[in-house]
Amino acid sequence: MNKRARRSTRPTRRIIYTEDQDEEVGSRQPKQPTKPLKPIPKKTVDTVDSSSLSGLEDSPSGSLAGEPDACLLEESLDLPLRIINTAGRAHSVSYHTSHLPQDRHLLTSRDPPSSSLQASLLAWFDLVKGNREMPWRKEVVGIANWTEQQKGQRAYEVWVSEIMLQQTQVETVKSYYLRWMTRFPTIFDLAKADVEQVNECWQGLGYYSRASRLLSGAKKVVERFAGVLPEDPLVMEKEVDGIGPYSAGAIASIAYAKQVAMVDGNVHRVLSRITALYAPQAAKATTKFLWSIAAALVPQNRPGDFNQALMELGATICKPREANCTSCPLSKWCRAYQEKQVLCVLEGGQQTHPSRLKRRVVDDEDIEDVCNLCQPLESLRASSGASSSDGHVLIYPMAKERKKPALREVAVSLVIWKESAPEDQMESSLENTPLSTGQAKALLIKRPEKGLLAGLWEFPSIDLAESNDSTADERQKKIERLLGKTVVGFTTAISSRTEGVSDGSKYQIQRSPVQLPDIEHVFSHLRVTYKSSVLLIHSPTPPTLQNPSLPDRPAASGQAIWSPCNDILTANLGNPHKKVWNAWLTHSDLSPSSIPSSSKPRKRKSSALNDPHA
């Protein structure tokens, strides 16, 4: 006897339908009730794994094979009807799985029956997989006969695509994927690259830490595994940077045809609806449960296609705000859709059920082992949206609690050096002067390799206190302390308003009168306001830097560089700093005739970002 604490719902009133008997129009004969509904299964399921789909009481097996007849369809809705009319939609754990295929040979058969869930989904996928023309999606034939190198190349392609697709839309990724594979066609090409080259190719895609992890992971795979990603997903997770359970499952199933699951946001939503799971999405128990369901459903035959089909279903049919259930190949196995059918009838919506329903009320029995994953749904009937096509289905998965992004302020200083002769350093400024190569350069500092905008360049910046009430003087003092550690002679020049000295050359500093507007940039968890100011430096040559980036090696965090102003929009800067630069061009009197207006990366033979002496 399981000794864990059991919860029990209080007895409630529930509605059970009876089927009308056939009768002639106008007949007054009383209807004969059907047999009472079966009690809710009470089998205890403490931990959920692939075996939990076996041995649970189920609706009649005939309702899951082929097209069900009217009677079997009614019987398949018995349990959803009972659950809907129980207070808070209380139910046992088995409610989530008892309607799913339970014949384990379906998952190991090389040719599962055409009526199975797996075959239905794969048949649908075969019809639609080419609709969105994804360059990383390829027809794979005879993978068992592939060489290790062929498998390794396919694994690399899948790896790149899956990392790019994290938190990024498919249409956005397409061009970046093609550009990446042109620049780094094999994992060996990527392993030879440095972070500057990788970030340049990734520029504009966001979440730059993904690119740096791809690079470090590629170097490790080439060094330890001869350039071929391990086939075991657990080894991939443990040994390769940037590969977690989802990426490992994708690579193993798609590239190596391993019978393993993968659960991304789309699959999470599809499985939540198939099982009618109303649980906090980020909870560990929820994640564990859905991964166990996914693992139990993956067939031995075409596991990669099956996993991709689940993702495609979530992206095109079972979407967050729209569920096209009538076109879904899995609606027959979907608990949420079954609940929707019941609610549609009870609320008087269009009746696709084969017989009319009559209500009668009885006392409900106590439910032992109430599901401890789901949250109660007290207003299920009222919010079902029965009048809409598939409104009820959209309540799954449980909505995430939206948190307001944290607020942060960042002080930014555009430090621009302008070439000038000693005799007229302070008689000229950048105003009304084209910023052509050799005339003006901007100071950039390399960001840390981890964290926000990891490994990118930025204008000198300081994170401010979260109070968001800093003054211009406070921001200026903090920036000047940073610049004092970055530019030789800066502290003396700015504090005494005298000339700074760098390698024997004198320079002078001028605060620009241009007032730049605040720039707001929203990250996934932060709303950052960039407070900008401008300092102009005049001298025959750029002042020496305390910690310059060296030309013969990749720049390290904290290193600085003087970059030609022409290269700013194509440099490896984060988008917030490009916004600051564009604001400077817009609000100053500069002539931008020689500055690229497009922020799209372009090929360059050389870049100041790789040459601190340019």
Backbone angles phi, psi at 521, to 5 degrees: -140, 130
Asked whether the beta carbons of 122 and 45 are under 8 A apart, the reply is no
pTM for this model (two decimals): 0.70
Write down the pLDDT at residue 352: 47
Cβ atoms within 10 Å of 19's Cβ, excluding its own: 18
CATH number of 141-256: 1.10.340.30
Which contiguous run of DSSP H or E holds residue 444?
strand 440-446
Write down the pLDDT at residue 226: 94
CB-based contacts of 368: which residues, under 8 Å, 6+ apart?
Answer: 6, 8, 42, 44, 92
Write down the pLDDT at residue 111: 56
Which residues is 482 bridged to in the sheet? none
Write down the pLDDT at residue 110: 56
- 354-390: burial string, b at 16+ Cβ within 10 Å, e else: ebebeeeeeebbebebbbebbeebeebbeebbbeebb
- Provide the sign of the torsion angle of the four alpha carbons 539, 438, 454, 407, taken in this order: positive
Write down the pLDDT at residue 506: 72
Which residues is 539 bridged to in the sheet? 419
Alpha helices in 9-77 (DSSP H): 70-76
Q: SS3 sequence, 290-340?
A: HHHHHHHHCCCCCHHHHHHHHHHHHHHCEECCEECHHHCCCHHHCHHHHHH
CB-based contacts of 561: which residues, under 8 Å, 6+ apart?
Answer: 443, 444, 445, 446, 457, 545, 548, 549, 555, 608, 609, 612
Task: Return d(Cα 161, Cα 134) in angstroms, integer.
Answer: 10
> DSSP code of 437?
T
Q: Spelled out in words, what is the top-level CATH class assigned to the domain 406-610?
A: alpha beta
> DSSP code of 67?
S
Structural domain spans, the chain: 141-256, 406-610
Task: Return d(Cα 124, Cα 607) in angstroms, integer.
Answer: 50
CA dihedral 205, 210, 212, 218 (to 10 degrees): -120
Here the tokens at position 235 are: 């080894």
Which residue, among 133, 40, 294, 176, has the nearest Cα to 601 in the 3D structure?
Answer: 176
Backbone angles phi, psi at 409, to 5 degrees: -115, 145
Write down the pLDDT at residue 601: 39
Task: Return d(Cα 207, Cα 524) in angstroms, integer.
Answer: 10
β-pairing verdict for 440-446 and 457-458? antiparallel
Here the tokens at position 220 are: 């490790």
Which contiguous run of DSSP H or E holds residue 122?
helix 117-128
Write down the pLDDT at residue 497: 58
CB-based contacts of 402: which residues, under 8 Å, 6+ apart?
Answer: none
pLDDT along the chain (614 residues), means of 10: 42 38 36 40 35 34 37 59 71 85 54 75 94 89 82 95 92 95 97 90 86 93 95 95 93 95 95 94 93 94 95 95 93 91 71 42 52 77 48 88 82 87 51 53 87 84 76 85 86 65 66 83 84 87 82 74 86 87 78 41 40 34
Which residue, among 530, 540, 533, has the nearest Cα to 511 in the 3D structure?
Answer: 533
User: What burial class does residue 555 get, using C-beta atoms within 10 Å of its C-beta: 0-12 exposed, 13-18 middle, 19+ buried?
Assistant: buried
**Is 162 considered catalytic here?**
yes
> How far from chain centre, in Å, is Cα 27?
60
Which position among 74, 157, 162, 409 bears the catalytic label?
162
Task: Return d(Cα 196, Cα 555) in angstroms, integer.
Answer: 8
